């Protein structure tokens, strides 16, 4: 019985983690500052210590 519960919990957690990883990968693909050129241009116009914007959840 405990092994069944543990397996069910494991599969649930695994599914949640996979879903979160998929979400982050999709957001990374949409990131306008993913490439080095846009990042450098942003820093050149906003200062070298400016934090580059991230995505909105």
User: Is 31 within 8 Å of 42 (Cβ atoms)?
Assistant: no
What's residue 54's pLDDT? 83
Torsion of CA 22, 41, 52, 48, to 10 degrees: 140
The pTM for the full model equals 0.68
CA 13 to chain centre: 18
| CB within 8 Å of 50: residues ≥ 6 apart | 42, 43
pLDDT profile of the chain (57 residues), mean per 10: 95 99 94 92 93 83
| CB within 8 Å of 42: residues ≥ 6 apart | 33, 50, 52, 53
Q: What is the pLDDT of residues 33-49, one digit of tens each?
A: 999 999 999 999 999 89
């Amino acid at each position: 019985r405990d092994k069944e519960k543990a397996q069910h919990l494991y599969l649930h957690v695994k599914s949640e983690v996979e879903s979160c990883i998929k979400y982050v990968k999709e957001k990374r693909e949409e990131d306008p500052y993913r490439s080095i050129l846009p990042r450098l241009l942003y820093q050149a116009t906003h200062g070298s210590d400016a934090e580059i914007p991230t995505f909105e959840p």
